Amino acid sequence: MGAAFLAGGLLTATPAVAANLLTNPGFEAGSLSGWSCSGGTGSVVTSPVRAGSGALAGAATASDNARCAQTVTVRPSTAYALTAWVRGNYVHLGVNGGAATWTPSASAYTKLTVSFTTGASQTSAQVYLHGWYGQGTYHADDVSLDGPGGGNDTQAPTVPGNPRVTGVSATSVSLAWNAASDNVGVTGYDVIREGGTTTSVTGTTATVTGLSPDTRYIFTVRAKDAAGNTSPVSIAVVATTAQGGGGGDRFIQAAPYLYLGWGNPPSATEVMRSTGVRWYTMAFILAQNGCNPAWDSQRPLLGGIDQSTIQAIRAAGGDVVPSIGGWSGNKLGPNCATPEALAGAYQKVIDAYDLNAIDVDIENTDEFENAAVQDRVLTALKIVKQNNPGLKTILTFPTYISGPSSWGNRLIERAHALGADIDNFTIMPFNFDGHADMYAATVTSTVALKDKLRSVFGWSDAEAYAHVGISGMNGSSDVGEITTAQTWTRIRDWANANDLGRLAFWSVNRDGPNWEFTRITAGFTG
């Protein structure tokens, strides 16, 4: 696999098209620039966001509905579309003196849309968002007023500079480029895949997904401004995706857990910028109404905060692996009656996000200590791996200090007997006796896992370690064991020295505000 530049990309101008006319539409400036909010009720927050690094928070009170507005120049007798993603109670979106819409309750980001046509002599329009009196804070993100600009701005942005490939997998390519400039302001970029789709982003990075393994692709980038002017396309950049399964490429992943269903989760992209981490293990996908996957058994795969967070992570050059299962909750393994049904549930998750990897966190008596469910999980993973070339599969399970339990040994032995072709066996070396030396305990249990894999699969030490992962717990474990940042650094360095395949910890939610463990984990190179 590799990447190279193709000099002499297309340099012809592109006609102006409709574009977002709003300033700071995704609040990525980190301020309310372009917006005016009543009574000082508006602010920009980093969580919860739909995409990017910021979102609007409107603190509605008993006497103020937290109205935030922006006025733009428009053309007379012209159709426009106004959209926004909102969450909260009684959130309104509209045009001053014109059309409006609202939602009574949105627990996750929900899209509102308003269409309107300007008057015969109208040259400006004020768009607004507001909550309702006494209903508390609402959030809004990615507001768009789509249509032709009304001013005299006919100057296109400059060409984005230095397009480059920053990463490839079997099914995706990550790109970055230098920002373009504009006489008024650049509002976004289009990444154009030759002969394929266009990916639109607001920043200077993007991850294009849905690609085929071991395939050559050509990309160009163009900038756009609020008036609908677009730059010439950049020089082209060429990338070749990684080989799929069986290609011999090592699977290496530094992926701390991020749990959007717990407390006040941090901004994934803010943590990425602060620490350099690129992968997240997203928790937890459980069963809803039988054999149907949903986040925490409640939130749908598409259309909510989970999907928007994944999109933001990928736009920032990262990726995710969903964690299916866990210690508690209603799990897919016991609820799906056959391996084929369970594979179908896994496939829904894979298709929803065009995944490169999935993790099944198999714990407790309902899955881990259940022979029938163990075999069902392994067979289902074998099916989805056969149906999705290049997909990587992970099993995460508990351990003793001495190594896998009898149930852990069975899981490994059955993975071999069933030909499940698992890419990584990740143990959770914590919750031992409450007084463990966490470095020594982690190393001892991991070496024992390596020895078991070597014995069962006939691998060398190096081959076995390449299939081993560690998922620790930062700070205090459930039984009071303490893993300090210094200890976690020693564990990471030992994992690097032995070329392990994966490093994770529970969790980024518990790591703020300095993200010390996340930063250490980002230094895992396998």
pLDDT of residue 152: 63
Dihedral angle of Cα 418, 420, 423, 424, to the nearest 10 degrees: -60
Residue 516 bears catalytic tag: no
pLDDT digits (tens, 9 = 90+) for 302-330: 999 999 999 999 888 889 999 999 999 99
Q: Is the Cα dihedral 271, 276, 278, 284 positive or negative? A: negative
Q: SS3 of 368, please?
A: helix
Which CATH architecture describes the domain 2-16+154-240?
Answer: Sandwich (2.60)
Q: 253-522 in CATH: which number?
A: 3.20.20.80
- Beta bridge partners, 72, equal 125
- Phi and psi of 12, rounded to 5°? -80, 145
Q: How confident is the model at residue 331 (pLDDT cuts 50, 70, 90)?
A: very high
Which one of the listed residues 194, 270, 363, 367 is annotated catalytic? 363
Better-scored residue on pLDDT, 250 or 166 = 166
Going from N- to C-terminal start, the domains of the chain cover: 2-16+154-240, 19-147, 253-522
**Position of tokens 């409107």?**
58
Query: Do 2-16+154-240 and 19-147 have matching folds?
Result: no
Per-residue pLDDT at 362 exceeds 60: yes
Determine which of 9-13, 203-207, 263-267, 333-337 has the lowest per-residue pLDDT on average. 9-13
pLDDT of residue 243: 59
CATH superfamily of the domain spanning 19-147: Galactose-binding domain-like (2.60.120.260)
Query: Which residue type occupies 273?
Result: R
Span between the terminal Cα atoms of the chain, in Å: 18
**Prediction pTM value:** 0.57
- Phi and psi of 53, rounded to 5°? -115, -5
pLDDT of residue 35: 94
The rounded distance, in Å, linking the Cα atoms of 180 and 102 is 36
Q: Do the Cβ atoms of 138 and 127 come closer than 8 Å?
A: no
pLDDT digits (tens, 9 = 90+) for 209-239: 888 877 888 899 999 887 778 899 888 888 8
pLDDT digits (tens, 9 = 90+) for 153-176: 778 899 998 888 888 787 888 888
Q: Do the Cβ atoms of 21 and 145 come closer than 8 Å?
A: yes
Dihedral angle of Cα 295, 298, 299, 302, to the nearest 10 degrees: 80
Residues of the chain with pLDDT > 70, as a percent, come to: 94
